[in-house]
Structure 1
Amino acid sequence: MSVDGWNTVLVLGGTRSGKSEFAESLVGDAPTVRYVATSADADPDDTEWAARLAAHRERRPGSWTTEETAGDPRRLADVIASAGPNETLLVDDLGGWVTVLLDPAHQPADDVATIAELAAAVRASEARIVLVSPEVGLSLVPTTPLGRAFTDALGAANRAVADACDAVVLVVAGQPAWLKPAVTPRAAGVPAQAGPARHDVTAAAAPAEAPLPDVLTPTAPAAPAAPAETNGTAWAAPTMALPMVATGLVIQPGMELPMPDEYAGPQAVDRLATLDVAGAGFGELERVVGFAAATQGTATPTPWANVRVLLLHGDHQGGAAAGTVPGESSRRARQARAGRGALARLAAENGASLQVVDTPSSAPMEQEPALAGAAVESALRYGWRLAEEAADAGVQLLVLGACGAGTEAAAAAVLAATAGAEAPAVLGRVITASGEIDDAAWMTRCAAVRDALHRTRRSPRDAKDVLAELGGGDIAVATGVLLGATARRLPVMLDGPVGVAAGMISRDLAGQARHWCVLADHGGHPAVRLAADVLGLTPLLNLRLDLGEGANALTALPLLRSVLALAAALPAHPRLGGGDPDSEEPDFAEPEPAGPGPTTVEPDGTEPDFTEPDFSEPEPAGPGPTTTEPDPSGWRAG
């Protein structure tokens, strides 16, 4: 059954925000309502809390029935699953349900599984359901372990249920703000104050709704007429629920995105020590096995079969682009689209798809903001959509690269704003097309970063402010890619200054993003080395490759794939319980003679004595000490 566009709705709100009254108004037109109370009985001595519960009961019409699930938190999912298509349920609230779930009387319990069961029941239900829950994500982090456990569990429950519901509304000071879906529902018979609030953030949002660029399948030079098809398994999980407004996704600081499996990585590394190899092991490349295991959630990770390269193309104007040849970045982008150049050739050799993404051009940062605030929002959402499209296509690894004039200076400015770096320390030397060093251009870039930082010295240093003032379009899109990939549990291989600058920005939006990133090689870039150190990303290799962003990573990819394939295929050493089906351990026991053989004869004509020798202690040849007990006088002989 669908009522006014929704079956299920989650009503969020802070303490005393009016969320319960609003939820009750949503079901006010129903002939009968089953009210599901989740909280445990109040302390008899807590009269104030008892009065609150009594006020709740008095508001309920006589036609409503009440059902309590405080005795067993798992029963809530059963109640929802058993509700018929003509029933209306009001669950108030998930905060009380989580309190009961964490109660020691119900432990040990798999809280994650219980929350997943609840979300699955809500998603599959045909009944009309309204769930109420406190929003604790806007408050301070509790100072006690129990408080933090409650906040974490309730946040996980809210996200899971919000993802399962058709609609989500946040009530603030009695005013509802609809977060999901984009087209807000209308509840019949709801008072005027209960209607959804409209959000208008459509200004300059065209890039977010623009069609995504085509995905290319470069062909190997030996067979240009046979496109290499890429087949992969869809590993990525559905996107975690995040606030939505009329124009789409809202990316904001403090987002709770998933983390890699904290157990699978160490288990995979420990397993490497047991494999049947002739040498000492995988050395530094153990880290790629641990990373792949954590992001795949298994101690035996498999090689990345479906890889996509995102090449972000966007120029920076002003002094940041000093020393670059005009139109060179556009030539590189056209070259990649045509399947030519180092990046396309390496993509073909690795069987990787290639997507060239045009990003907004960035204004001279030393004179004005590099990007307008509304364009930053659009660029972030655009990058998120690129990652989601890749996950939906079964991509197992994203390689993030960029080609654009002034990207090194923009990344240096971001590092200066987020990590306190000095521009001369993180800006690499400028190399001309003929291989010469252009120190004048390098000084111009340093001056551009210095002037931009001076211009913004009183500006906020929040993530979006840094993108608007200094980062520009390509770094903003790259940041959105990292966040979207994190939400879909999709690992990203960074390559070059743009990717690590986006990693620095993403820390303030979702700190989990850096744990889904891996760095193949720093390429000799000082900015990459510094950002990698801040982000905790140790390069897997130290080849100082500088073939262009994206091409460095693809050069190292076959080696990394080989390590993963070997780690997944090798058995444990036979001495550690493994076996080799192709061979058997040789038996080194002395074989029994097949028949009578020659008899050994000693020189004196007697047969040798093969009995075990007697190793008993020989008798002393002369008189010795009569006792071995300590001398009672305390002196030792000699």
Structure 2
Amino acid sequence: MSEQSARRFLVLGGIRSGKSELAENLVSGTGTVRYVATAGASGDDPGWTARVEAHRTRRPAGWATEEIGSDPDRLITLLAEAKPDEALLVDDLGGWLTASLDAAGAWSDEAPEALGHQPATSLAAAVRDCSASLLVLVSPEVGLSVVPPTAAGRLFADAIGEVNKAVAAACDGVAFVVAGQPTWLKGTDPRGAAAAAAPAFTPVTHPAISPAAGVADASAQVATPAPATWAGAETATLPVVEAGEAAQPIAVGMYLPMPDEPSSAAAGERLARLDVPGAGLGALAPVVTFAAGTQRQEIPRPWQTVQMFLLHADHAGGVAAGDSPAESARRLEAVERGEGVWALLAGAAGVGVQTVRVGGAAAVEEADAMSDAEVDAALRYGWQLAESAVDAGTDLIVIGSGGAGADAVAAAVIALTANGEAAALLGRVFTADGRIDDLAWMRRCAAVRDALHRVRPHARDPRTILAALGGPDHAVATGMLLGAVSRRTPVLLDGPVGIAAALVARDFGAQTRHWILLPDTGGHPGVRLGADVLGLSPVLDLKLGLGEGAAALAALPTLRSALTLAATLPTAPGAAALPTAPGV
């Protein structure tokens, strides 16, 4: 097997079992997807044409589709030509085997064994050597029915059995689907434990969360935007804490997992021996060692399913000077339509975006931003969002933020937790036409100064900081970080709200900072100070000012490229080879 990070899965099932839906769910959200259809429509069979059309309609518009029809060798070629940054879905092997038997003239009663083991052997070898980051193959399981009464039927049943056995041996995971419910015969469900217990196919609309009841409201659904370059957005709203509601609070000083240092060190050693004409990956090398530690394997794979959470809260008072709640709401609605900076960058990077409305916060220069009970609810909610994403197969989380005054409040949190000077940590304020608004900046300085003066006599435990200064968006971001780390999932941050949340999260669990990657500081003084305190070094120096989370989305293709090169390039001739990591 070549050095690469491919994951290979075989999905078996009977007619109308839900096997295709499971396969489509496995590759959803993985960025570049090529759908390989082994059978096309038939003009003289309306029923079959309707089945094919149903499959076409269900596929996302952004997937590339190739129908191999009567050319079975084309599948072997496509597997050989697959790139490390794409996912392949082959549906199904029954159509491919039929074309193989047709091409070989093997249907005659006189020579039912004409092909022997040839199709199974050649396909299994191609599957093993395929360099795609994710390969999912669908195949019919016909061995549970009665023995076919015809020679042709028996030939197909025997041959597909041989194909399924050979391909299953070449795959990392094998699922058998019955009545829409998958059972994993080999390996585990890559989408996580919760997904394994759920139906094989999840609709593309998502229930919003009712702020009144704090439960899923099936009547409030947000449709996925249509543009092919847009990965899709879903919205959620922070539940309101009901009177008397009791729940176990997130503990301060909890012990969270750490990345695997031996894997990180081994990845660094291997980078030094890559067969490249120059000095290597340079500033991108830490991306590879970071991914190796968080994935616990010496040759890390490029992130496949990336989820961005765009948090939105409007803060009252002077911290929002120069900001317009109406303008922040307009930008958020644009994201949900698949428009604007965040949406375009997410679509280009193949990232899913979920907007999370978390209400508003009081003027912190006058009163606490939220109550203690609201802090606990927001922390739990952020944790739940992260866990749900990981259960759905997410392997990297991006945190973004919008809302009036959010970055000024973040500067106050950073100043308090990192012992900084508030005025030096506040970014410039720009008007809608791009001019610098110094008056608004001074009003923000005064509001942050008064807020810090109000809270300094109080205890500086993380809950108090979130309640007094942070507000619901900071609390949800903090809970999201803790939830992601608890599930060994890395997080990209690039803005003041994320950095402020990381500073608070380290007091809940000091291990949190080791799971954070900082693509860029955006030139923001608060981000630079917070990153320095956390021990985070920016990978790039883009100085983008497009909104919190946008720099991470812009940098993601470059970060993935580093992982693709590290996973695919061989070591230089004569260099000692490391053993292949599990799962690679």
- The answer as to 2:314 corresponding to 1:315 is yes
CA contact (8 A) 1:215 1:354 kept: no
Note the C-alpha offset of 1:333. 1.1
Note the C-alpha offset of 1:578. 6.5
CA contact (8 A) 1:313 1:358 kept: yes
Secondary structure at the counterpart of residue 356 of structure 2? strand
Give RMSD over aligned pairs: 2.5
Residue aligning to 1:479 = 478
Secondary structure at the counterpart of residue 309 of structure 2? strand
Q: How do 1:337-376 residues align onto structure 2 when only pairs under 5 Å count?
A: 337-376=336-375
Note the C-alpha offset of 1:577. 4.7
Higher relative CO (CA 8 A, sep ≥ 6), structure 1 or 2?
Answer: 2
- The answer as to 2:515 corresponding to 1:509 is no
Higher helix share: 2
Q: Aligned pair count?
A: 359
CA contact (8 A) 2:318 2:446 kept: yes
Note the C-alpha offset of 1:256. 1.1
Residue aligning to 1:293 = 292
CA contact (8 A) 1:208 1:379 kept: no
* Change in 2 beyond 3 A, CA 1:354/1:217: farther
TM-superposition CA deviations, 1:262-298 (whole Å, max 9, x none): 1111110111011100001111111000110010001
Secondary structure at the counterpart of residue 259 of structure 2? coil
Note the C-alpha offset of 1:229. 8.6
Distance 2:519 2:224 in 1: 23
Structure 1 stretch displaced more, 280-289 or 568-577: 568-577
Same amino acid, percent of matched pairs: 55
TM-superposition CA deviations, 1:476-518 (whole Å, max 9, x none): 0000000000111111001211100000000111111111111
TM-superposition CA deviations, 1:577-611 (whole Å, max 9, x none): 579xxxxxxxxxxxxxxxxxxxxxxxxxxxxxxxx
Residue aligning to 2:573 = 574
Distance 2:536 2:247 in 1: 32
Distance 1:262 1:578 in 2: 19
Secondary structure at the counterpart of residue 476 of structure 2? helix
Note the C-alpha offset of 1:247. 4.2
* Change in 2 beyond 3 A, CA 1:257/1:456: same
Residue aligning to 2:554 = 555
Secondary structure at the counterpart of residue 506 of structure 2? helix
CA contact (8 A) 2:493 2:552 kept: yes
- The answer as to 2:421 corresponding to 1:415 is no
- Give the TM-score normalised by structure 2: 0.59
Note the C-alpha offset of 1:575. 2.5
CA contact (8 A) 1:215 1:353 kept: no
Note the C-alpha offset of 1:551. 1.4
Residue aligning to 1:330 = 329
Note the C-alpha offset of 1:326. 3.6
* Change in 2 beyond 3 A, CA 1:548/1:263: same
TM-superposition CA deviations, 1:95-120 (whole Å, max 9, x none): xxxxxxxxxxxxxxxxxxxxxxxxxx
- The answer as to 2:535 corresponding to 1:536 is yes
TM-superposition CA deviations, 1:542-593 (whole Å, max 9, x none): 11011111211111000110110000001111131579xxxxxxxxxxxxxx
- Greater CA radius of gyration, 1 or 2? 1
Residue aligning to 1:463 = 462
Distance 2:222 2:480 in 1: 15
- Give the TM-score normalised by structure 1: 0.54
Residue aligning to 1:380 = 379
Secondary structure at the counterpart of residue 389 of structure 1? helix
* Change in 2 beyond 3 A, CA 1:214/1:258: farther
Residue aligning to 1:432 = 431
CA contact (8 A) 2:314 2:325 kept: no
Residue aligning to 1:178 = none
Runs of at least 5 residues in structure 1 that lack an aligned partner in the other structure: 1-204, 231-244, 580-638
Residue aligning to 1:277 = 276
* Change in 2 beyond 3 A, CA 1:558/1:318: same
The one-letter code matched in structure 1 to 2:390 is A
Residue aligning to 1:22 = none
TM-superposition CA deviations, 1:7-61 (whole Å, max 9, x none): xxxxxxxxxxxxxxxxxxxxxxxxxxxxxxxxxxxxxxxxxxxxxxxxxxxxxxx
Distance 1:436 1:473 in 2: 30
Secondary structure at the counterpart of residue 469 of structure 1? helix
* Change in 2 beyond 3 A, CA 1:358/1:306: same
CA contact (8 A) 2:225 2:232 kept: no
Distance 1:208 1:498 in 2: 25
Secondary structure at the counterpart of residue 453 of structure 1? helix
Secondary structure at the counterpart of residue 355 of structure 2? strand
Higher strand share: 2
Residue aligning to 1:391 = 390
Distance 1:207 1:550 in 2: 30
Residue aligning to 1:445 = 444
Note the C-alpha offset of 1:211. 6.4
The one-letter code matched in structure 2 to 1:408 is D
TM-superposition CA deviations, 1:286-314 (whole Å, max 9, x none): 10001100100011001001001100011
The one-letter code matched in structure 1 to 2:281 is F
Distance 2:276 2:226 in 1: 36
Residue aligning to 2:134 = none
Distance 1:485 1:374 in 2: 22
Note the C-alpha offset of 1:408. 1.5
The one-letter code matched in structure 1 to 2:525 is P
Distance 2:265 2:418 in 1: 30
CA contact (8 A) 1:388 1:485 kept: yes
CA contact (8 A) 1:207 1:382 kept: no
Distance 2:367 2:387 in 1: 32
